[in-house]
Amino acid sequence: MSFQKSLIALFILTIISHVSSTTCGSNPLLDVYGITADFSDAQVVSGLKYCKSLQNKDNCCFAATINNFQAKTDSLLNRLRETVVKRDESLIYIRDTLIPSLSTELQAMYQAAGQAYQKIRSVGMQTVDPDVPGLVFFIGNMARGFTNPDSIAIMKDNFTSYQESRTTCVIDIVKIQAAGWCLACDPEFESKRVSADGIDFSDALVKTLTDSCYSSIRRADIMNTYFSFYQMSFFLGDITAALNKIAEGDMTGTDLKNIANASPAIPQDIYYRPITSPTSQTCSVVTCPWIETDLFKKGKLEENTLAFGGNIPESARRMLREGLSGRTLTAGTWSPDIDEAGVTVTFENSPVIGGGSNNGGSNNDDDSDGDDDDNNGSVLQKGVTRGLVVLLSVLLIFS
């Protein structure tokens, strides 16, 4: 009997040893984040500077591994700064150099759109191809907005607000990314809904990040108008000629619609590409599951997506036709404190590569201007930001 008990005890010990030896190394987040589990058996480690949930508890990583999370955070922030600087420089070039250089073409396009629209009204909407009136109207509004100094001034103000809101979003998103690194060292990862698909964010965490980032996402959508115009700028003359044909009586708008099949040689510099805005999918001020499904892939932050404020498609065709990607949300349980990692996160409104800033950073964004960028009556924002989505869905479908 004693021998049987010994065998049973040995069997149980073997099972426990096997489970313990695979707990740490089986965390999928280790590969996602490039972190090594330092222990096969989780154990308490002293001297941790970061990761509140692992203090005085079992974990899978050396203190040195966890205490490197600040350096890991700083490296991430520097990469984000570099990307943000290049994106902002591209936007400023389009706004302050490209658009003014095309003022003559824009004026001609605005006049042609007005004449085309008058012709449409004179013959009656019912006699015109149903896609044409909306196209003409929005082309005219776009041209009017980009030749209106007041609209450009408003867009400059909104650019400043966009930078400020981006700072708030980046800070909280990076903190949650650092919390994910802590989760990679947590032997209780399975109970927190970590799987091969990544991390299931709780509804509370999605709400927290929505509150931090929706203002930035919304303003990135407004800034996106510039990058959409950049693509259009390669064939403004073709659009004007097509409008003139409508003004002369071509109610089919064939040439205007055929531009949809054009494939101009547009430089593929990623910093000039329009984004697919999450606000056109499922992201709202109430909840933005896009943050979990697209901004984080398997729990890893998509850095360019954060820096740009939306998905960067390989081509405009994909930008306009793709829906929300990512896995289906489930009721997750991971709901870390925003400062779970305890790392220091600073980011500037207008970063300078190598550190420093032009106008300082902020950790808070109370959005005190409310929805002023939706209510100020700007043709550029009301007519173009919303209308350009319709316009681009026909005009900017490049191969």
pLDDT at 372 over 50: no
Angle, alpha carbons 105-111-117 (nearest 5°): 130
| Mean pLDDT rounded to a whole number for the chain | 79
The percent of the chain in helix, strand and coil, each rounded to the nearest 5, is 60, 5, 35
Q: How far apart are CA 119 and CA 113, in angstroms?
A: 10
Q: For residue range 325-358, what is the model confidence (pLDDT) as tens digits?
A: 333 334 457 889 999 999 999 999 998 664 433 4
Q: What is the share, in percent, of the chain residues with pLDDT greater than 70?
A: 75
Q: Is 311 helix (H, G, I), strand (E, B) or coil?
A: strand
Q: What mean pLDDT comes out for the span 3-21?
A: 42
The C-alpha angle 227, 271, 280, rounded to 5 degrees, equals 50
Best-predicted range by mean pLDDT among 104-113, 250-259, 327-336?
Answer: 104-113
Report residue 148: phi and psi, to 5°. -100, 110
Would you say residue 252 has pLDDT above 50?
A: yes
pTM greater than 0.85: no
Q: Which segment of 37-46, 88-97, 138-147, 323-332 scores lowest on mean pLDDT?
A: 323-332
Q: Is the pLDDT at 170 greater than 70, yes or no?
A: yes
Higher pLDDT, 230 or 82: 82
Strands 43-44 and 58-59: antiparallel
Is-contact 103 144, C-beta < 8 A? no
**Bridge partner residues of 311 (DSSP):** 276
Encode pLDDT of 290-309 as tens digits: 999 999 999 999 999 999 99
pLDDT at 258: 80
User: What does the pLDDT read at residue 93?
Assistant: 94
Structure tokens that stand for 114 in this block: 């007005």
Domain spans, the chain: 62-395
Nearest to 383 by CA among 145, 217, 42, 183: 145
- Residues 6+ positions from 380 with CB-CB distance below 8 Å: 145, 146, 148, 151, 152, 154, 155, 225
CB atoms within 10 A of CB 28: 17
Q: Is the pLDDT reported for residue 21 higher than 80?
A: no
User: pLDDT tens digits for 172-197?
Assistant: 999 999 999 999 999 999 888 888 88
Q: Among residues 201, 184, 194, which one has the least CA distance to residue 59?
A: 184
Distance CA 165, CA 349 (A): 8
Pairing of strands 198-199, 194-195: antiparallel
